A = this chain, B = another copy of it.
Amino acid sequence: MQREQDVLTAASMYYLQDMTMEAIAKHLHTSRSTVSRLVKRARETGVVEITLRPPQGRAPGLGQQITARYGIDAWVVPVPDVTSQIDRLDQVSMTAARLLSTWFDSEMVLGVAWGTTLAAVAQHLTRKPTRGSAVVQLNGAANTRTSGVHYAGDLIAAFADAYGAHAHYFPVPAFFDYAETRSAMWRERSISRVLDVQRRADVALFSVGAISGGLPSHVYSAGYLEPGDIETLDAEGVVGDVCTVFLRADGTYSDIALNDRATGPTPAELRRIPQRVCVVAGDNKVAPLHAALRAGVVTHLVIDEVTARALVER
């Protein structure tokens, strides 16, 4: 295909030689418009990669405050204070998608949770061709009540597609109805193979679920839980979840009944993954995020400015 070659040529002349698109068009014997499209395609297909490197450690911005307090890498996404929750989610997820593509590379395994936030990230993924990499679903979601782009399978497929990675699905419900079923399934070879891949993950990508307020968290609204379950959670002091594992405000999670039936990795298991990226947008997520930080499951945080401020002022 001559097209691929032209994409590379146009990108090289535009980004490496600072030529104007008009000049490039003349060289390629085509129109400016086409060159504009070639360059766009170069960005979209990952021929061009744009990386941001925060100047080392200084600057007492919000990000540094969070870094200092929690010992994690924080990326604060600037958004106007007035931005709606939806717009904030959009900005944060786009930023997270771009950052992720600078972190993920060949021969790596990416573990992905699912939910509203992750679906938003998936929409903004930039392509980056890699080899020998894989994407693995971190927690179950097979359920008849969800479908479309929010369906976990499509979400995993979107990540795998963007990176040319192998996809590993996790065909179990978000929560089992009986803990014994989980133990039984975990022994099945088809399932334990996926669990093995999860354990080999180099990067985990997830958000936190809030029990209440703001945009509804899929875990609570998608019909996985019965009304009785939610009351029980409240009574146990649960403030939110990470990968379908519920946490109390202090980051603990043992002796919460539902967790025995959950399918996602516990914080202890999650912590074995070296890089753990948490994407957060929305005020109502401050409490569960704080719990997640206490549980030590986050190494890299991508968060909108407003929520970040709420976090440090807490």
Min distance, Cβ A2 to any Cβ of chain B, angstroms: 9
The residues in A between 4 and 29 inclusive whose CB is less than 8 angstroms from any CB of B are 4-5, 8-9, 11-13, 15-18, 26-27
Please tell me if the beta carbons of B4 and A78 are within 8 angstroms of each other in the complex: no
Please tell me if the beta carbons of B17 and A95 are within 8 angstroms of each other in the complex: yes
Whether a CB of chain B sits under 8 angstroms from the CB of A311 is: no
Chain A's interface size range is 35 or more
* Complex interface: stretch among A44-52, A148-156, A227-235, A245-253: A44-52
Copies in the complex: 2
Whether a CB of chain B sits under 8 angstroms from the CB of A120 is: no
Whether a CB of chain B sits under 8 angstroms from the CB of A181 is: no
The distance in angstroms between the C-alpha atoms of A45 and B55, with both chains bound, is 9
Is the contact region of chain A dominated by helix, strand, or loop, or is it mixed?
mixed
In the bound complex, residues from chain B placing their C-beta under 8 Å from that of A309 are: none
Looking across the interface, which residue of chain B has its beta carbon closest to that of A91? B17
Please tell me if the beta carbons of B129 and A55 are within 8 angstroms of each other in the complex: yes
**Contact residue among B12, B55, B94, B95 (Cβ-Cβ distance under 8 Å from A52):** B12
Please tell me if the beta carbons of A94 and B50 are within 8 angstroms of each other in the complex: no
Given A13-B78, A78-B27, A98-B16, residue A51 in contact with residue B53 (CB < 8 A): no
The residues in A between 56 and 98 inclusive whose CB is less than 8 angstroms from any CB of B are 56, 58-59, 61, 77-78, 80, 91, 94-95, 98
Please tell me if the beta carbons of A12 and B80 are within 8 angstroms of each other in the complex: no
Please tell me if the beta carbons of B47 and A17 are within 8 angstroms of each other in the complex: no
The distance in angstroms between the C-alpha atoms of A129 and B16, with both chains bound, is 19
Please tell me if the beta carbons of B78 and A12 are within 8 angstroms of each other in the complex: yes
Q: Which residues of A does B touch, CB under 8 Å?
A: 1, 4-5, 8-9, 11-13, 15-18, 26-27, 42, 45-56, 58-59, 61, 77-78, 80, 91, 94-95, 98-99, 129, 131
- A selection of 29 A-B contacts at a CB cut-off of 8 Å is A1-B59, A4-B55, A5-B61, A8-B52, A8-B54, A8-B61, A9-B78, A11-B52, A12-B77, A12-B95, A13-B78, A15-B52, A16-B77, A16-B94, A17-B77, A17-B94, A27-B80, A42-B52, A47-B53, A47-B54, A48-B52, A49-B52, A49-B53, A50-B50, A50-B51, A53-B129, A55-B129, A56-B129, A56-B131
